[in-house]
Chain A
Amino acid sequence: MKHWSSESLADAIYQKSLDMALGAGQQGSHIGGSFSCIEIFAVLYADVLHYSVNDPLWDERDRFIASKAHCILSHFATLSLVGYFPETELSSFHQDGGLLCGHPYAPEIGLEFSGGSLGMGISVGVGMALAAKHDGKKHKVYVLLGDGECNEGSVWESFMTANQYRLDNLTVIIDYNNMQFDDANDKVMTLDPLGKKMEAFGFAVVEVDGHDVNALRDVLAVRHVGKPLAVIAHTIKAKGIERLENKPESHQTSLLKSDYTVAMTKGRRG
């Protein structure tokens, strides 16, 4: 099995995601939110999560829930690159009846949760962390939330439960690309000051440049005894696709051949 550095994994996820987005053709895919969290995936799967692709249900694995789910494009790419399934399977993305169509619940390929309906995955993660704490298990639970997803009231219900049960085995990462389906967060539903809100909900809070793999690695190692940890990762929606960067229309769209060519030439960091 190839050992990835987080930098090289980020580059590989980026390239694979571009291939998949192009392959999805005119029906398009969730590009914006998939390209904003590539470094988050890279750091989690290269440096942070304990998992075994040869034994996907290994009891001591860390659990990872992609609650925002609209990052399934780059999540699939990541799971394939780290060895959960062959890269050839990526061609079934968004194909009728394919393994990678929809938001499958498929723990055998590393998908612990079927997302798509926003605000659900965080409570599932809280339940997993609660079960682990009750059973005295040492693994950790990581949940990736979208910033737009935080409009959902159920997210805040879960935050209260995480605080009530002092779930210090839980880390919530917010992909804060400041953009949702219709427009910028502030134009739709203001989320700031998110850090203060989460502190008030009982979290240890750190903020970070969500495209800086070294900084991400550092904050994910922060000690948070007696409290859940919130990592607010400031990111750019559709990062690395020049025409779509920081544009709400990147949320669900097609990748043009010209987008692909520019991106492959310039690379992730332009």
Chain B
Amino acid sequence: MPQFDKKSIRSWSLLGIAPSIFIHGVADVMKKNKNTCLITADTGRYCGFQKIDEELSDRIFNVGIAEQDLIGVAAGMALEGKQVYVTTYAPFLAFRCADQLRHLAGSCNLNIKAIGTAAGFSAATSGYSLMAINDIAFARAIPNMTVLSPADCAEAMKMAVAIGETDGPVYMRFCGLNNLPNVYAEDFEYKIGKANVLKEGSKVAILATGTNVVWEALRAADMLRDNIGIEPTVADIHTIKPLDEEFVLSLCKDHSLIVTAEEHSVVGGLGGAVSECLSAHGAGVRQLFVGVEEKSCVFGSRKFMLEQAGLTAEGIVDRIKQCACRNN
């Protein structure tokens, strides 16, 4: 894996998924593990495959625009002992081959690492068909599936490498393409299933996931501190399944409001996972879900859509203030 110096991290965020996930992340795994293969459904150029070292090219396959075949072929290779990374756009990776993912990858517990690009609102100028805002809900319900959502390109690279150390199925979704903010400006500890606490505070906890959204949560925390004197806890929940339940439950002692923020439906995503955890343990802490509501039917750029959904620092702060007013 390349050095995590400040300059490299900045450049990955500018250039986006191609260098961070594929040219360095997955390629690094392939160099170490001769059994690792990479298959795409005609989105290799989008992901920078042409810049992956030539020596790895005989382990890179393309099944064409055929997502069902993508997971089926990956399953056949996994049954032969291969570790198989597959990638295409998240809306198609989660749903065009949903049956293959649930049965072959999930119930058969195969070594398939599904990386969904253009997740969330990344391609929302193309309308609903290109939006992946229900993929976490689906992936979470698949047996054995680990579900991941990186906060920036540096974390995406750590994640792409870390999943190479696991045997089971993974669904990793990445929102945005390039020119993304850095949550992690320098090297940091990364462990699947372990929440990264970015700010320690009290009363309010903002649990965020995904590119831009975690960054906006950090900005929201600064605004709350400056405007109303609350210093919230902020955490990057990069692993949605298995959820870091120990961390979530630990918040109940000093926090009376837990906010979840995600570029995903408010049904079944990070908010749902946190809610299931809190209610199962009788935590009795109020939760605020910031995410995509069903009412939305306008389309536009990712920036516009994030604003519409309230997934900006200002939007998160407004929702927290409204919630506080209702409580008083």
Query: Do A and B actually bind?
Result: yes
B77 close to A123 (CB less than 8 A): no
Give the distance in Å from the alpha carbon of A74 to the alpha carbon of B75 in the complex.
25
Q: Does B283 sit at the interface, judged by CB under 8 A?
A: no
Interface flags for A114-137 (1: CB within 8 Å of B; 0: not) read 100101101111111111101100
**Given known A-B contacts A132-B80, A157-B63, A157-B69, A123 and B75 have beta carbons under 8 A apart:** yes
Pair B107/A124 contact, Cβ less than 8 Å:
no
Spot the interface stretch: B46-54, B97-105, B217-225, B312-320.
B97-105
Interface residues of B in 90-115 (CB under 8 A from A): 99-100, 103-104, 107-108
Residue of B78, B79, B82, B103 most packed against chain A (CB within 10 A): B79
Grouping DSSP codes into helix (H, G, I), strand (E, B) and loop, the A interface class, with mixed when no group exceeds half, is: helix
The reply to whether the CB of A160 lies closer than 8 angstroms to some CB of chain B is yes
- The interface bits of chain A over 142-161 (1 if a CB of B lies within 8 angstroms of the residue's CB, else 0) are 00000000000110011011
Q: How far is the CB of A115 from chain B (nearest CB, A)?
A: 9
Q: Which residues of A contact B81 (CB under 8 A)?
A: 131
Tell me which of A112, A119, A161 contacts B73 (CB under 8 A): A161
B-side contacts of A113, CB under 8 Å: 79
A242 to chain B, nearest CB (A): 36
Given the contacts A105-B108, A130-B77, A157 and B82 also touching, CB distance less than 8 Å: no
Contacts of B207 in A (CB 8 A): none
Say whether, besides A114-B103, A120-B104, A131 and B68 are in contact (CB < 8 Å): no
Report if B249 contacts A (CB, 8 A). no
The answer on a CB contact under 8 Å between B59 and A134 is yes
Q: How many residues of B contact A (CB 8 A)?
A: 27
Query: Are B82 and A126 in contact, with the CB atoms below 8 A?
Result: no
Q: Is B284 an interface residue (CB 8 A)?
A: no
Q: Are B108 and A123 in contact, CB atoms less than 8 angstroms apart?
A: no
Docked complex: B59-76 residues within 8 A CB-CB of A: 59, 61, 63-64, 66, 68-69, 71-76
Would B99 and A123 count as touching, CB distance under 8 A? no
Let me know if A54 is at the binding interface, CB within 8 A.
no
A66 to chain B, nearest CB (A): 14
Q: Is the CB of B72 within 8 A of A126?
A: yes
Q: Chain A contacts of B200 at CB under 8 A?
A: none
Q: Is B107 a contact of A131 with CB atoms below 8 Å?
A: no
Q: Which residue of chain B has its CB nearest to the CB of A161? A: B63
Q: A125-B76, A126-B76 are in contact. Are A120 and B99 (CB under 8 A)?
A: yes
Asked if residues B103 and A120 are in contact (CB atoms below 8 Å), the reply is: yes
List, in ascending order, chain B residues with CB within 8 A of A122's CB. Answer: 72
Residue B226, interface by CB 8 Å: no
B79's partner among A112, A154, A157, A160 (CB-CB below 8 A) is A112
- Supposing A126-B69, A161-B69 touch, asked if A131 and B76 sit within 8 A by C-beta, the answer is yes
> Does B246 lie at the interface of the complex (its beta carbon under 8 Å from any beta carbon of A)?
no
Q: Once the chains bind, are A119 and B76 in contact (CB under 8 Å)?
A: no
- Which 5 A-B pairs give the minimum distances between C-beta atoms? A127-B76, A123-B72, A157-B66, A157-B69, A131-B80
Question: Can you list 17 contacts pairing A with B, beta carbon distance less than 8 Å?
Answer: A113-B79, A114-B103, A120-B103, A123-B69, A123-B71, A123-B75, A124-B76, A124-B79, A130-B61, A131-B76, A131-B82, A132-B80, A154-B69, A157-B69, A160-B69, A161-B63, A164-B64
Given contacts A117-B99, A127-B79, A127-B80, 14 further A-B contacts (CB under 8 A): A117-B103, A122-B72, A123-B71, A123-B100, A127-B76, A127-B77, A131-B76, A134-B37, A157-B63, A157-B64, A157-B69, A158-B69, A160-B66, A161-B63
**Measuring CB to CB, which residues of chain A are less than 8 angstroms from any residue of chain B?**
105, 112-114, 117, 119-120, 122-132, 134-135, 153-154, 157-158, 160-161, 164-165
B contact set with A: CB distance below 8 Å: 37, 58-59, 61, 63-64, 66, 68-69, 71-82, 99-100, 103-104, 107-108
